[in-house]
Amino acid sequence: MYRSKPRSILKRFLIWSVLLGIISAILTLGTQNEGFIPVNKNLWSLSFVTTTSCFSFFLLGLLYYIIDMKGWWSGCPLIYPGMNSILVYVGHSLLGSYFPFSWEMKSPTSHAEPLVQDLLGTAIWVFIAFLLFRKNIFLKI
């Protein structure tokens, strides 16, 4: 029904983004630690869910516009881990704490080293997913 109406799909994504953003702003009074329900990732508070959902719908709408509507980008390299997402998830769950995905940090107060560690780990998993994609190996349930 909506596949033939890409503007309608994009409009729905953006409406949900704005609606959830308004709900989040009301719940938090526009702050992180104040308001009726503060943003709390550890508890998955309602304000955390609405805030992250707001940004997720906006990003989804942006990517839908760029990839599906305009065709400016093919979506690579996101396609490769998406084709083997269960294997990447299970592989990271089992091997994520081992080298080269993780190592003991010299400066735990810095944000630079965890960023490098996370980017390198992600790049390695995308590369593994790419190799599996090229060999037509897909984990299916």
pLDDT mean by block of 10 residues, the chain; 141 residues? 82 97 93 85 89 97 94 90 93 90 81 90 94 93 81
pLDDT at 2: 61
One domain, residues 88 and 46: no
One domain, residues 60 and 16: yes
Q: Which domain holds residue 24?
A: 6-69
pLDDT at 103: 83
Please state whether the peptide bond connecting residue 108 to the residue before it is cis, i.e. omega within 30 degrees of 0. Answer: no
Split into its structural domains, the chain has a count of 2
One domain, residues 14 and 62: yes
One domain, residues 57 and 83: no
Q: Is residue 74 part of a domain?
A: no
Instruction: Please give the single-letter amino acid code of residue 126.
Output: V
What 8-state DSSP symbol labels residue 72?
A: S
pLDDT at 1: 61
pLDDT at 85: 93
Residue with tokens 């990517």: 63
Domain finish residue from 35, 51, 69: 69
Q: What sign for the dihedral angle of Cα 5, 53, 34, 28?
A: positive
The helix/strand/coil state of 32 is: coil
- Evaluate whether 84 touches 132 at the Cβ level (below 8 Å): yes
Q: Is residue 17 part of a domain?
A: yes
Q: Is residue 20 part of a domain?
A: yes
